Amino acid sequence: MCYSSTKVKLVYSHKTFRMVKIREKDQPKKRIKAKKKKFGGKPTLFVALLMLVLFIIALIYNPDKGIRKVISRNSSTPTSVSSEPQFTKHGELTFLKDNGVILSKLDIELAVDDGRREQGLMYRRQMDINRGMLFIFDDEKLRSFWMKNTYLPLDILYLNANKVIVKIHENVAILNEQPIPSEFPARYVVEVNAGYCALNRIAVGDRMTFIRN
């Protein structure tokens, strides 16, 4: 009986020992599984951390690239100021019928010398509908204009020494270097936006008056 009980006890003890040993062997595997469960559900966080570390390393070994980007962003070249000539009001002009009925009024810029007359409305991209340019010459004779370097479509009116309209060229094409003749002697020329004459029913035989500032 004593032997038997001892054997059983030994066997039990042996089994117990084996069970303990198995549990101890299994513990690292369980830890690994636990770690997989812990990190396996958050791959995005792991990738983000990895990318951050790589970015910091790249910045340490090549800092100039990042600095250049910041400098270029904060010190970009400002947009250059347009070189387009600006309108300057020199007076007011009125178109009217022979019987005195007023057709329209304009703010005008004057071209009274060779330099201003040669420049005219060249290089301008816009002009308000109630604005125009009046060219004044010293004498009355046949004249001819052109649209070189002129980006605004225009109505061009030729007037004689009595300020009566003798010829109108409507909707003159831009950048056209072909002569645009007066066909009759003229001392004054008025340039307005294309369509202005039709809009205000201005025609040959109408006249103008103007005052300077």
**Per-residue pLDDT tens over the stretch 116-134:** 999 999 999 999 999 999 9
Two structure tokens written together for 94: 């009125």
Percent of the chain scoring above 90 in pLDDT: 61
Please answer whether residues 109 and 102 qualify as being in contact, where contact means their C-beta atoms are separated by less than 8 angstroms. Answer: no
pTM of the model: 0.62
* Position 80 in a domain: no
Please answer whether residues 147 and 177 qualify as being in contact, where contact means their C-beta atoms are separated by less than 8 angstroms. Answer: yes
Average pLDDT of the residues in 140-155: 97
Q: Encode pLDDT of 68-93 as tens digits.
A: 443 333 333 333 345 889 999 999 99
* Position 79 in a domain: no
Last residue of a domain, one of 12, 44, 74: 74
Q: What is the pLDDT of residue 4?
A: 42
Is there a single domain that holds both residue 62 and residue 126? no
- DSSP code of residue 161: T
Is there a single domain that holds both residue 190 and residue 119? yes
CA distances from 22 to 8, 150, 160 (A): 21, 97, 120
Is there a single domain that holds both residue 67 and residue 100? no
Average pLDDT of the residues in 122-151: 97
Last residue of a domain, one of 12, 45, 74: 74
* Position 109 in a domain: yes
**Terminal alpha carbon distance of the chain:** 139
Please answer whether residues 113 and 172 qualify as being in contact, where contact means their C-beta atoms are separated by less than 8 angstroms. Answer: no
Residue 111: CATH number of its domain: 2.60.120.1140
Is there a single domain that holds both residue 174 and residue 122? yes
Is there a single domain that holds both residue 114 and residue 190? yes
The Cα 150–Cα 173 span in angstroms is 9
Q: What is the pLDDT of residue 82?
A: 57
Domain containing residue 115: 91-212
Q: What is the pLDDT of residue 15?
A: 44
Element (H, E) at 156: strand 154-159
Q: Looking at the chain, how many residues does it have? A: 213
Domain count, the chain: 2
Is there a single domain that holds both residue 100 and residue 69? no
Is there a single domain that holds both residue 58 and residue 136? no
Average pLDDT of the residues in 2-25: 43
Q: What is the pLDDT of residue 56?
A: 76
* Position 207 in a domain: yes
Is there a single domain that holds both residue 70 and residue 95? no
Last residue of a domain, one of 74, 109, 133: 74
The Cα 75–Cα 25 span in angstroms is 65
Look-up: residue for tokens 């690994």? 32
Is there a single domain that holds both residue 120 and residue 55? no
| CB burial of residue 126 (10 Å; 0-12, 13-18, 19+) | exposed
Q: What is the pLDDT of residue 51?
A: 80
The Cα 110–Cα 89 span in angstroms is 8
